[in-house]
Amino acid sequence: MLYSLRQIEVFIKTTQTLNITRTASLLNMTVPAAWKQINNLENLCGKKLFNRNGKRLSLTSEGFFLIQNANKLINISGSLAENIKLIQQEKQTTINISVGSTLQSFIFNFLNPFIHEHQKKVQFKFEIDSQTHSLQKEQHDFYFMFDNTKINHQSYEAYSLVMSDFVLVCSNMNKLAYKKEILNTDLQNIQLLHSTRTHEIEDSYTAIRLINHYFDKLKADWSNKTSVIYFETYLSLREAVKANLGIGFLPRILVDDGIKILSFHDENLENMQLKVVGAIKKEDNPSYTHLLLKEYIIQFHKNHSC
């Protein structure tokens, strides 16, 4: 079964209107006839091209993949046919993904919809590591990390996903959790927790330099009034906060249940933000699923422009 130009015409117009009634009106056809063209094209691909939500439609990842070349059908009809063939003949592929240990929770939630949609056709292989060594050897198809100057941009293209500021946190069991606003005087005689961050994020990053400098100032101001416990990673610091060992500064994206963000205002904290990026390996002949995940990342980047 081959696709028809009418199917593509209806498909393209529907991606613009996202409303089948509006599509039918613009193309001078009935609504059932318009649906028939869409259904036939979906049957040809073997995948849904639109999500149905009442009268409102939205593109699936396969629909988004197909529309990339559909608009240029007159000149590159052969390319569109190849895309349909890729969808039809999709075989199980393996995607190698590296995730910085600090970002596990955020990235798994970020990838959750994509993984559930494609888990039958894709074997996802995750490695949780400090990434420095594997980056040098370019071992993985995708990297998710805090902005890292060690990315080889000749081999990878990087897209920002989210900016995370630093917040002062304590356990829900801590007495400070019930205060509406935290003052500097409230932090005196309080056990402070801090991360040395000896790996995964370089000391050269502005946000890390600033938060460390800021924390050093706190120590100097309160050297005789408080003590400090140091942790190698933000994950271990977070668990210590949960256990109510003290209070400390965490990237906001690491805050989860059992932790209270304190209302602590200091203009020095405003510029202390970490950027989370997704780095995509440049491939001469990428798999269909590789292209879909790439588009998934790019769309998230566009929708949450940092």
Tens digit of each residue's pLDDT (9 = 90 or more) over 107-126: 999 999 999 888 777 888 99
Round to whole Å and give the CA distance between 40 and 1: 10
Round to whole Å and give the CA distance between 204 and 149: 9
Q: What is the mean pLDDT of residues 138-164?
A: 83
How would you classify residue 273: left for phi > 0, otherwise alpha for psi between -120 and 50, otherwise beta?
Answer: beta
Q: 42-49: long-range contacts (C-beta < 8 A, 24 or more apart)?
A: 43/1, 44/1, 44/2, 44/3, 44/7, 44/84, 44/88, 45/84, 45/87, 45/88, 46/87, 46/88, 47/87, 49/11
Q: What is the pLDDT of residue 201?
A: 47
pLDDT digits (tens, 9 = 90+) for 262-272: 988 777 676 67
Amino acid at 13: K
Round to whole Å and give the CA distance between 190 and 176: 10
Q: What is the mean pLDDT of residues 150-160?
A: 84
Residue 274's pLDDT band, with cuts at 50, 70 and 90, is: confident
Share of residues in the chain with pLDDT > 90 (%): 27
Looking up tokens 């060992």 gives 245
Residues in Cβ contact with 176 at an 8 Å cutoff, skipping those fewer than 6 apart: 170, 182, 186, 190, 247, 260, 262
- The answer, yes or no, to whether residue 141 has pLDDT greater than 80, is yes
Domains and CATH numbers, the chain: 5-88 (1.10.10.10), 93-162+275-303 (3.40.190.10), 163-274 (3.40.190.290)
Select from 290, 258, 295 the least CA-distant residue to 105.
Answer: 258
- The answer, yes or no, to whether residue 67 has pLDDT greater than 90, is no
- The answer, yes or no, to whether residue 297 has pLDDT greater than 60, is yes
pLDDT digits (tens, 9 = 90+) for 21-38: 999 999 899 999 999 999
SS3 45: helix
CB of 100 within 8 A of CB of 161? no
Q: What secondary structure letter does DSSP report for 150?
A: T
CB of 230 within 8 A of CB of 147? no
Round to whole Å and give the CA distance between 258 and 173: 8
Q: What is the pLDDT of residue 117?
A: 84
SS3 174: coil
pTM, entire model = 0.64
Residue 301's pLDDT band, with cuts at 50, 70 and 90, is: very high
Q: What is the mean pLDDT of residues 158-166?
A: 89
pLDDT digits (tens, 9 = 90+) for 176-201: 998 888 887 777 778 888 887 644 44
